[in-house]
Structures are given as C-alpha cells and as structure tokens.
Structure 1
Amino acid sequence: MTYHLYHYFEKDHGPFRNLSKLPIEEATHISHQLRSEGDVFASRRSEEYMLIRREIEQLARCQFIAKGGMPKNTYPHYMTLGPCKWLESWYRKPAVITIPSEEFSEESISFTYGDLFPTMRYQDEKPYRKQIYSRTEILNVIKEYGFPQDWNINGDKGPERYIEVQVWDEEVVGKYIF
C-alpha cells in the first residue's frame, strides 16, 4: 500500500531545515529567537528544548539501529505519515511537500505513534509510548489504533496528533530542498 509522507515548513525558509544539524550554540540561539517572536508554534518551546531534543533523537537513533535501521544522519528530518492540517498552524506561511513512502528505503526511516518529543517523554503507559517503529511495525500499530489525525483532530485526547516519520538519510529529501 502506498502512503504519502508530508513535510510541513515555513514557506519563506524552505523545506527540511533542521536545527539539530547545527552546532548546539547556533541551534539554541535560533530557538531563542523563535521563542522571542511569540507568534509561531516554536515560540512555546522551553529554553532546554534543544538539549532535550538531541537526547531524544539519539535515543530514537539507537532504537532504530537495534531494529535493523541504517541511519546515515546523526539527526533525522521530520515528516508525517499522511496529512495533518493542524501542523499548518505552526507556521506563518505554511507549505507542504508530499513524497510517496516507496521513495524511502526501509532502513532509512523510522516512525513514532505521535510526535517524537511527547512520545518519548509522556508518562501514561500507553503501549506505543517510548517506541520507535519500522515501516512494517507502524502499519500494525495503525491497524490496532488508527491514525491519530482521524481520532484526535483537536488534540483533546492526548499528545498524539499524527504519526511522525524520522528520515535518517539525505538522499530522498535532498531532491526537495530549494
């Protein structure tokens, strides 16, 4: 079955810009600038956001490798499995790129049931918390729980609003950077 992966971004800045790829000082500075602007989703993040994000990304990478993943990047790019209109609210001028899932090798993408950040940190004992999934595994999770985009449109049923895809390779996304 073909699914499409979606990448939401600020139109004026372009797609696949990644704070994690920057030196920590530069990433923290940009994160601080976004917080001070106050009118974008990123402005709500804590001062420790970048340090916590890097820890969680390393945990995700280790879990992905343990499942047979072969990440080429130290830090992932982020996409969603299927559309999530709510993510457009994160940006002043939202834009989106869609890429068929078949363009990515099984070894280059991992999944979380929900955004990586709350999935790895939220303490409610749901079975899909703190889990990184392969493509095959996430399809089984979807069969059991459905798409969060369908059952949690307003975010009132927990932090899971979409299925996140972590892209661990520049090969495919590089074609879409402009």
Structure 2
Amino acid sequence: MMFEYITHYYYTVPFRSLSALSRTEAMKVMEELCDDSPIFERFKEPVQYWENRLEAENWLLNGFKEKGGAPKDKYPIYSVLGTADWIENYTLSEGLDVKLLRIPLSLFSDKDVSFTLPDSMVSFWIGRDKPEEYYNSKYHGQIFTLSEVKTMMTTDLLNKFQLLIPKGTIPYIEAQIWNHEIAMNYYKSQILNSNQR
C-alpha cells in the first residue's frame, strides 16, 4: 500500500515553524500555545522542548544529507505521509479550525523530502535510548528517503504500526519537506485554482 500524497496541517497560515524563530520568539509562541490538549501540551516545558527539537532537527538534517538528500532549507516543513486520522478526528471533535493541504508525492524526489516513523523527535529519542518495549532498529532512529518509504509501506507494516510507537504518541509517519519552494508553489497554485472557480 502506498500513499499518493503528504498532508500538511496548519491553523491560519501554512508552513510556519518554530525553527524559523529565534529562541526568545519561540519561547513566547510556546507559552501562548501551551494548554492541556494533546497537541500543545508538549510546550509545557518550553526550554526542554526547544533543546530536544534542535537536537532532533540536527540529526534529521545530517541524516538526510547522508542519504543523498539535498536540503535547500535549514529546517523542514513537517507533514505526514497520507493522513493522520487521529489529528483530524481530534481537532474536529474539539471544534478546532485546523486546515490541511494535501501535496502530491509526485512533486518530490529523494533529494527533497525525508520520512521518520513515527514523529521525528520520538524516533530520534527511541533510537537513542532504545527502550525495550518499543525499540525496533529497522525503524527507530532511522531516516528514510521517498524511495525507501515506497518500498517499506506494506500492509504488514501498517498492521504492526501501533506496536512501534509509545502510548500517548500520535500514530503517523512524519514527512519532512526540505525544499519549501515545492510546497509553497503547490499551495499558491491551489489558491489560484480556487479563486478561478
């Protein structure tokens, strides 16, 4: 089974990232967003989250380059492979105005996008600490190219997916877009098309 698109979830403006901000700016945003919802409770310890995020993104960037990736931007735009049903169902049930942009995978090459299973910060943590309950060296602490994901996306993997992630972790395969221009151009084309209807 192979998905034909990745989905970028956002609130008001797409492609925003804490990584584009200074530490001070990021702290302010996290303090404003922090609440008890599963989506934003990770910001309750903003300093720890920020340090963990920088460490994970450094691992992502270097690992992607080692796999032959050619990142045109210093940090990725985060998306998910296919959809994240939990995110869509939760935000709908909570009345949150989350928007989504489905971007065809056909727009990307191995040089533009990487993948982790699950979320990159979680995969990095599991790969580093190797908790016995979840660690699987085939998936955790690994960065996958588009070609590799196409090969590994089987029914067998999807069936055992829940066994590969810690309880309380949102189940999805994360996609990291390293060429922002591709995503932005697609978004602009969708806006243009909707305005012409």
Q: TM-score range by the shorter chain?
A: 0.7 to 0.9
Task: Give the deviation of 1:40 after TM superposition.
Answer: 6.3
Partner of 2:27: 28
Partner of 1:142: 153
Cα distance change, pair 156–126 in 1 and its aligned pair in 2 (3 A): closer
Structure 1 residues without counterparts, runs of 5 or longer? none
RMSD: 2.7
Aligned length: 173
Alpha-carbon distance in 2 for matches of 1:34, 1:157? 23
Secondary structure of 2:111's aligned partner: helix
Partner of 2:78: 78
Partner of 2:173: 163
Alpha-carbon distance in 2 for matches of 1:134, 1:160? 21
Whether contact under 8 Å (1:2, 1:100) holds in the other structure is no
Cα distance change, pair 53–166 in 1 and its aligned pair in 2 (3 A): same
Mapped pair 1:114 → 2:113? no
Whether contact under 8 Å (1:119, 1:160) holds in the other structure is no
Task: Give the deviation of 1:144 after TM superposition.
Answer: 7.4
Alpha-carbon distance in 1 for matches of 2:37, 2:142? 32
Alpha-carbon distance in 1 for matches of 2:157, 2:111? 24
Partner of 2:195: none
Return the letter of the residue paired with 2:173. I
Alpha-carbon distance in 1 for matches of 2:168, 2:36? 24
Task: Give the deviation of 1:43 after TM superposition.
Answer: 3.0
* Post-superposition CA distance 1:99-152 (Å, at most 9, x none): 11011222010000111111110233212111101111122332374237x853
Cα distance change, pair 34–105 in 1 and its aligned pair in 2 (3 A): same
Whether contact under 8 Å (1:71, 1:168) holds in the other structure is yes
Alpha-carbon distance in 2 for matches of 1:157, 1:147? 17
Q: Percentage identity across aligned positions? A: 30
Alpha-carbon distance in 2 for matches of 1:135, 1:33? 35
Larger Rg: 2
Alpha-carbon distance in 2 for matches of 1:49, 1:61? 18
Secondary structure of 1:64's aligned partner: helix
* Post-superposition CA distance 1:79-113 (Å, at most 9, x none): 11111121233582111110110112220100001
Whether contact under 8 Å (1:34, 1:40) holds in the other structure is no
Larger deviation: 132-141 or 42-51? 42-51
Return the letter of the residue paired with 1:119. S
